[in-house]
Amino acid sequence: MGTKERRERERAEIREKILEAARELFVKEGYEAVTMRKIAQKIEYSATAIYFHFKDKESVMRELCATDFLTLAKQFTRIAKLADPVERLRATGLAYADFAFEYPNHYRLMFMTPHPHHNEEELAIHRGNPEEDAYAFLKATLMEGIADGRFRPELDDAEMLTQTMWAGMHGVVSLEIAKADDPWVEWRPAPKRARQMVDTLIRGLLRGES
């Protein structure tokens, strides 16, 4: 490996350390409370050193958002090949839950931690592109189900259905992430709760189901 390649690899490794440290701090302390100095201290670097990689805290958060949301969207690549929109919907809900269970810190930052919104032109993700935008993927699947007449006739608002499905699955995974160690409740296994939620939601959508 040449000097240039080695430096590029080292640079990439440092950026990843910065992002992981920032993600943990943003989740634990909140976006507003975290400073570039705190991020630097977390990885035992000087603040000057991390400014070489990111100009400010907002740029760190912007890259985290792009990286994590693209990671989520990529979970749906295989699912996109399913021809039946109802089966695709079920698989999407389960993949969403699997992502949250596997990457709880990512999920906390993405959906359970307040942080500033970014202008679309600043993000690496293209809004409305189902290959990059998980919300768009879910919405497109529901629109196809509506167009095919698979759902109850009164359920014709794809935006509403998308937000309802999202809310249901978020409820399961956020409870698992935030409350799974609470002995007050005799928790059933998280994957089973996720499957029951997605099956129940879909059953409520389908035409002719009760």
Please check whether residues 44 and 70 belong to one and the same domain.
no
> Could you identify the residue written with the tokens 């634990």?
28
Mean pLDDT, all residues of the chain: 90
Cα 146 off chain centre by: 25
CATH number at residue 5: 1.10.10.60
Whether residue 210 lies inside any domain: the answer is no
Taking 50 as the threshold, does the pLDDT of residue 210 lie above it?
Answer: no
Tell me the sheet residues that pair with 206.
151
Please check whether residues 198 and 106 belong to one and the same domain.
yes
Q: Identify the domain containing residue 198 by its residue range.
A: 61-205
- What mean pLDDT is predicted for residues 6-14? 86
Count how many domains the chain has: 2
CB distance 75 to 99 below 8 Å: yes
Token couple for 186: 């005799």
Please check whether residues 93 and 151 belong to one and the same domain.
yes
Q: Name the H helices within 148-189.
A: 158-179
CB distance 123 to 66 below 8 Å: yes
- Convert the pLDDT of each residue in 113-166 to its tens digit: 887 776 666 666 677 788 888 999 999 999 999 999 999 999 999 999 999 999
Q: Name the H helices within the chain.
A: 3-29, 36-42, 47-51, 57-74, 85-102, 104-111, 134-147, 158-179, 190-205
Please check whether residues 155 and 126 belong to one and the same domain.
yes
